[in-house]
Amino acid sequence: MSNKNLGAILQTTKFYSLFSGIFFLFFCYGLFLNSAGVKLADMGVSDVVIGLLNAAFFVGATLSAILAHRIVSSVGHIRSFSVFGAIFAIAALSHMMIDNLWVWGILRIILGFCNYSLLLLVESWLSEKTNVDTRGKALATYNIIWGCSRLSRMLYYKNEDNPL
């Protein structure tokens, strides 16, 4: 094994805690995403309102595109990751405790903001902390982990009506 390959492996392994944090956040969010729609349907909410609540997520995403880089630049990657991750988890869990649709809309905006802020944060953090030789491997590892975390959505679809 050459020194160059060893360096690439060491560069990637130093991000394991970051990768595992992202995996669990987005894996659990995928599970939540499916259960939120079911809960809204059980509450008797119309399809139009469900669509508006889903659109609120992308309002948060738009706000993230405008504001997240300023927050990360001013307080740093570690603090930003901690705060965005905590708010993300709290907002997701709050959905199951509250039945007010206006509050759900606000929580969806917060989720969208934190989701896209975390994506921006992790990719910029990896780009900043890796060198030119290892950046591609670190970003590829991150994308594989992020993609695997999205597979949690498939867990919902295996039931009696849909034998996937």
- Predicted TM-score (pTM) of the model is 0.79
- Res. 15: pLDDT tops 90: no
> How confident is the prediction for the chain on average, in pLDDT?
83
Of 153, 67, 150, 147, nearest to 110 by C-alpha is 67
List of residues 6+ apart from 86 with CB closer than 8 A: none
* DSSP structure string for 90-116: HHHHHHTT---HHHHHHHHHHHHHHHH
Q: What is the mean pLDDT of residues 57-75?
A: 95
- Res. 161: pLDDT tops 70: no
DSSP one-letter code for 159: S
Query: CA angle 123-126-132, nearest 5°?
Result: 120
The predicted-structure confidence for 110-160, as pLDDT tens digits, reads as follows 999 999 999 899 888 888 888 888 888 888 888 888 888 777 766 655 555
* 8 A C-beta contact, residue 120 and residue 64: yes
pLDDT at 64: 96
Which amino acid makes up residue 73? S
- Res. 163: pLDDT tops 60: no
Sign of the four-CA dihedral 103, 109, 112, 115: negative
Q: How far apart are CA 134 and CA 6, in angstroms?
A: 10
pLDDT at 126: 84
